[in-house]
Amino acid sequence: MRNFKSGTKINQGYYRSFQPYPINKQWEFQDMELLDLLSKADRHLGRLDMYSEHIPDIDLFISMHVVKEATQSSRIEGTQTNIEEALLEKQNVNPEKKDDWEEVQNYIAAMNQAIAMLEDIPFSSRLIKETHKVLLPGVRGDHKMPGVFRTSQNWIGGASISDAVFVPPTHNSIAELMSDLEHFAHNDSIYFPDLLKIALIHYQFETIHPFLDGNGRVGRLLITLYLVDKEILKRPILYLSDFFERNKALYYDNLTRVRTHNDLKQWFKFFLVGIIETAKIGVSTFDAILKLKKETELKIQTLGSKANNAQKVINYLFKRPMIDVTQIMKVTDVSKRTAYNLLSDLERLEILKEITGGKRDKLYVFDDYLKLFK
């Protein structure tokens, strides 16, 4: 790593592009500080992964983790949608926020599809393209070649390419660079710890910037996909966008420093601290979820014959903690009147909280659960 060179700038006439060097090569690690941090990250990630084996109905809770990831990753790109808004149905979204809401929904769909596709397709350019194809349609980047690597030059920052903050490599080298990245991801003959491997892959992907739009969101999504594909995580329960969003300036500074100072170590340290902190928060969140689940089930046992239907609603709420009377009717297959009575019971037990303040089309939120993801 001491001899690491990130790449070189190439004169393209009136601008200079950055050409990253290939990463699929032999590496040598001798930094004890970094290896110690890596050991801690592995330990905390292993503890978090353990929860995925022992928590019943974990798929219910993963849904909310995905919503949070989609919200935070999109916020890094400038959208203003929060978790509550992300959970709204389209007809209930403020028209001024509909574009932001659509971007978050696309991210959720892209993540869910990508995780499902890992059953048949490994971590690859094909998977990346298919994921990108879901990310952009219907939103502000839908004209920027969804699912296709760019065929023109792009840039980051600045009013024009001549005063850009960063100019990625020319489109002619994207196929070669992405092929190198893909081979590196699956090259078992090279010793490279997996957490550092995906940290380098994320950096390299953001440097290549292979799409005209959506590179940041796809690049962050790749972190979870890689961890699941390599079976480091059995379930998709770790997402770094919240850490990156809270440390946004450092996130961009450390990525940039790799290119400007060949300082890969600082990026690795930042990334591993993100793994450690996020894994710790994940464990605490799961502990809190289990405690809340137990408390909630004890509350609904007081409803007697209504408890069975109330449990169906609770199961739905752990997946999507916002509901109205129509959804309760669907979940429980009861009449409207019975659904209203059930809503009243759950509100009285302080499980649901009405948030719209209107007399019609009221929305209710499972507030204690939602707070765990804020």
What is the C-alpha to C-alpha distance for residues 89 and 135, in angstroms, rounded to an integer? Answer: 18
pLDDT in tens, 245-295: 999 999 999 999 999 999 999 999 999 999 999 999 999 999 999 999 999
- Within a domain: 1: no
The answer, yes or no, to whether residue 189 has pLDDT greater than 90, is yes
Give the model confidence (pLDDT) of 154-163 as tens digits.
999 888 998 9
Q: What are 334-338's contacts with CB under 8 Å, separation 24+?
A: 334/309, 338/309
My answer on whether 188 and 336 are in the same domain is: no
User: What distance in Å separates the CA atoms of residue 83 and residue 374, rounded to the nearest whole number?
Assistant: 8
pLDDT confidence of residue 303: 95
Among the residue ranges 81-85, 113-117, 321-325, the one predicted with the least confidence is: 81-85
Confidence of residue 216 (pLDDT cuts 50, 70, 90): very high
For position 91, what pLDDT does the model report? 86
Nearest-angstrom CA–CA distance, 107 and 101: 10
- pLDDT above 90 (res 133): yes
Average pLDDT over residues 86-108: 89
- The reply to whether 347 falls in a domain is yes
pLDDT of residue 1: 67
Looking at the predicted structure, is the pLDDT value of residue 144 above 60?
Answer: yes
Q: Tell me the mean pLDDT in the region 83-103.
A: 88
Which pLDDT value is given to residue 139? 66
Does one domain contain both 232 and 352? no
Task: Report the share of the chain in percent with pLDDT over 70.
Answer: 98
How does 340-361 read in b/e, with b if 16+ C-beta sit within 10 Å?
eebbebbeeeebbeeeeeeeee
The CATH number covering residue 160 comes to 1.10.3290.10
Instruction: Flag whether 290 is in a domain.
Output: no
Percentage of the chain beyond pLDDT 90 is: 78
What is the chain's length?
374
State the pLDDT confidence band at 185, using cuts at 50, 70 and 90: very high
Assigned domain for 298 exists: no
Residue-level pLDDT at 141: 57
Same domain, 322 and 280: no
Q: For all residues of the chain together, what is the average pLDDT?
A: 92
Same domain, 187 and 69: yes
Measured at the alpha carbon of residue 12, what is the angle toward residues 11 and 16, in degrees to the nearest 5?
55
Structure confidence by residue, pLDDT tens digits, 46-78: 999 988 887 877 887 888 999 999 999 999 988
Q: Which of 254, 285, 316 is at the close of a domain? A: 285
For residue 225, give the 3-state DSSP assignment: helix
Residues 179 and 76 both lie in one domain: yes
As for how many domains the chain has, the answer is 2
Answer whether residue 2 is part of any domain: no
Phi, psi dihedrals of residue 56, rounded to the nearest 5°: -70, 145
Residue 192 lies in a domain: yes
Predicted pLDDT at 92: 85
pLDDT exceeds 80 at position 119: yes
Judge if 246 and 317 occupy the same domain: no
Whole-prediction pTM: 0.92
State the residue for tokens 């194809």.
133
357: CATH: 1.10.10.10
Q: Are residues 191 and 310 located together in one domain of the fold? A: no
Do 280 and 313 fall within a single domain? no
Region class of 24: left (phi > 0), else alpha (psi between -120 and 50), else beta: beta
Where is the domain boundary, 285, 315, 349? 285
Does residue 142 carry a pLDDT above 60?
no
Please tell me the predicted confidence (pLDDT) of residue 80. 84
The range of the structural domain enclosing residue 187 comes to: 7-285
Q: 246 and 168 in one domain?
A: yes
Residues 247 and 360 in one domain: no
Boundary (domain end) residue, out of 285, 316, 331: 285
